[in-house]
Chains A and B, each alone.
Chain A
Amino acid sequence: MTGYGFLWIIFAVAFFMYVGYGCVLMYHWFTYGYDQKVAMIASFLYIATGSIALALFAGALV
């Protein structure tokens, strides 16, 4: 893991952006969205696709 410190920083930034943006986007979908079902599906897809990216990350650690 040492020697790839910059990658860890990039990943950490991307992860916190993902979480932070996700919270803001979901707030918008549920508050200003025109259909709660659409907001729920969008949130599910956001988390599901993010999980795939995180699984890749976990795969790198194993």
Chain B
Amino acid sequence: MTSAFYMDDDEELLLKIRKHWFLVFLDFAIIKLFAIAPFIIIFIFPSLITGVAQEPVMIGLSAWFLLCIIAFATTWTNYYLDLWVVTNKRIVVLEQISLFHREETTMRMERIQDTTIEINGFFPSFFNYGDLTVNTAGEHTKNHTFEGIPNPEEVKALVLERVDAVTEHKDKLEFSDVQRPSHGE
């Protein structure tokens, strides 16, 4: 599937989730505004590129564009490398926190206790995206929140369905172990 995430042979990929496109669109829109700002200035003061100041303006423009390209690429990288993978056995959270800070968390379905979704605001309600929090059981209980995922209700339903299926299967196995007579009897 990927170079960064490997699955077992009997593991089935159910869902790959990234942040909603609108969130990255907002970030891009801001950077784009910065990128076109020099053109607006040149449009207002056309003498900048026709007069004696042409050379420094061009050098400044090219430096500005290089910085804007870096901002674009970094934003896209943060979006692209953040991923939730839901399989029939676990949820894997791959998070690129900064360029040199990457986290990978695995939550097994049988350890998941609750899931909570939060859709807060006009745009999240309109575009149907929100935050999904998954609570896991264990000694080191930790909540994992994935912000801005599309269709959070559907994702929550899928996760709970898988949790129920895994728990039911586990209960059946435990029950059959109890029922099975031991060799000594």
Contact residues of A with B, CB < 8 Å?
A: 1, 4, 7-8, 10-11, 13-15, 17-18, 21-22, 24-25, 28-36, 38, 42, 46, 49-50, 52-54, 56-57, 59-61
Stretch at the interface among B20-28, B64-72, B129-137: B64-72
> With A and B bound together, what is the CA distance between A35 and B83 in angstroms?
13
A50 and B69 form a contact (CB under 8 A)? yes
Interface residues of chain B, those whose CB is within 8 Å of chain A, are 1-5, 16, 54-67, 69-70, 72-74, 76-77, 80-81, 83, 94, 96, 99, 102
Q: A14-B66, A28-B99, A54-B62 are in contact. Are A60 and B55 (CB under 8 A)?
A: yes
The residues of B that contact A4 with a CB separation of less than 8 Å are 55-56, 59
- B77 and A25: CB pair below 8 A? yes
Q: Is the interface of A mostly helix, strand, loop or mixed?
A: helix
Query: In the complex, what residues of B have CB within 8 A of residue A56's CB?
Result: 58, 61-62, 65
* C-alpha spacing A11/B77, complex, angstroms: 24
Partner of B102, one of A11, A24, A32, A52: A32
Contacts of A59 in B (CB 8 A): 58
Partner of A33, one of B56, B64, B81: B81
Q: Which residues of A contact B73 (CB under 8 A)?
A: 21-22, 25, 42, 46
